[in-house]
Structure 1
Amino acid sequence: MKMVPGFFWGLVLILIGLAIIFRVVFDVNLLRIIIAVLIILFGIRILVGKNWMPERSQKEHDTFFSDRTYSEIPEDKTEYNVIFGKSVYDFTGHDSILREPVKIKINVVFGAAVIKINPDMPVRIKSEAVFGGSRMPDGNTVAFGSINYTTRSFIENTPHLYIESDVVFGGIEIMEK
């Protein structure tokens, strides 16, 4: 789910423009129809009791309408996505010495993520939030904008875990454990 912010906001503006045109020209409130359809689909999902999205469209690191826990060793250039769900990423049980830099990306849209890190492992985190929340272990938070955090064992230009996170209408909490 690589989505450029320009593409996302462009799509949002186009949809808002179409909603205004439909409202003025056809006297149809498109926004209310879309919200009603989403509520109906969510109700059907609750009644059915299982995931109605095709499994083949989901990647192993994606969480849609469910809860998942990851305790794997993160591989370089891995991307995790949480959409209308919750994921817990536990990176505390791994060796605190990294042989090479590892960069992962975590995207949260209308969901929640908890990232547990080892304070003895060199970790650098950059989190960007848009109408969401991102809380770092030192208590700093961001609701709209960007925030950076490094563990006390982080040294520039040495192998470390780099976590890049984006959150839109959701929340991310990073915990040292």
Structure 2
Amino acid sequence: MKAGFIFSSGLFWGVLLILFGISSILKSFNIHLPFFRIIFSLFFIYLGLTILLGGPIFRTDKNTVLFGERRIAVTDEIDKEYNVIFSSGEIDLSNLELENNKRLEINTIFGSSVIKVNPNTPIRIVASSAFASIRMPDGDNVVFGESTYHSKGFEEKNNYIEIEANVVFGSLDIEPTF
């Protein structure tokens, strides 16, 4: 997974540096501001505005669900990474054509997600869970640790889809579509 949706954005670092600079200037005049309380408060203000306005304030790419709910249908244009953060999301891989091996990473953090897969498509899923729940297509559950699943038609010498699924403080259901 990338470094983080907020920590990699210019908005976060810009606000942080401005507040740090203002705090340093005010300290030279013996005025002390609770710097970390302000950052913590701004985060809660952001969450409140997100709920009131009905959507995220930060812009995300088409493969990230942040503070919302969305369905992502993956077609032949496959991206390497899909993220569901503080959200609910469905990632539909059931119509994905398999001309060559495809590898993708799906991360769920403080949220819930569903991955729809075609049971006739050869798939290897490497699932990693920390304080979370991952339900595999065969009914196995991963609560803490790592597990690997292979579909019935999986052979390493043939083309297949490899999914690296990481879940932290959330849930992921991998469901076959019929």
TM range (shorter): 0.7 to 0.9
Please state how far the C-alpha of 1:72 moved relative to its aligned partner.
2.4
SS of 2:46's partner is helix
Residue 143 (structure 1) aligned with residue 148 (structure 2): no
Residue in 1 that maps onto 2:2: 2
Pick aligned residue for 1:78 from 77, 80, 93: 80
Find out whether 1:114 has 2:109 as its counterpart.
no
How big is each residue's C-alpha offset from its partner over 1:72-111, in whole Å with a ceiling of 9 and x where there is no partner? 225455100111111111122344xx22100011011111
Give the partner amino acid of 2:111. Answer: G
Equivalent position of 2:166 in the other structure: 166
In structure 2, list runs of 5 or more residues that go unmatched.
5-33
Q: Which residue of 1 aligns with 2:92?
A: 90
Q: CA deviation at 1:41?
A: 3.3
TM-score by length of 1: 0.73
Mapped contact 1:76–1:101 kept (Cα < 8 A): no
For these two proteins, the number of residue pairs brought into alignment is: 146
Query: What SS class does the counterpart of residue 115 from structure 1 fall into?
Result: strand
For 2:55, give the aligned amino acid. K
Shift of residue 48, structure 1, vs aligned partner:
2.8
**Which secondary structure state, in structure 2, belongs to the residue aligned with residue 121 of structure 1?**
coil
Q: Structure 1 residue 121: deviation in Å? A: 0.5
Identity %: 34
The match for 1:25 is: none
Which residue number corresponds to residue 10 of structure 2?
none
8 Å CA contact retained: 2:116, 2:176: yes
Aligned equivalent of 1:14: none
Q: Are the counterparts in 1 of residues 131 and 144 from structure 2 also a CA contact under 8 Å? A: yes
**Larger CA Rg, structure 1 vs 2:** 2
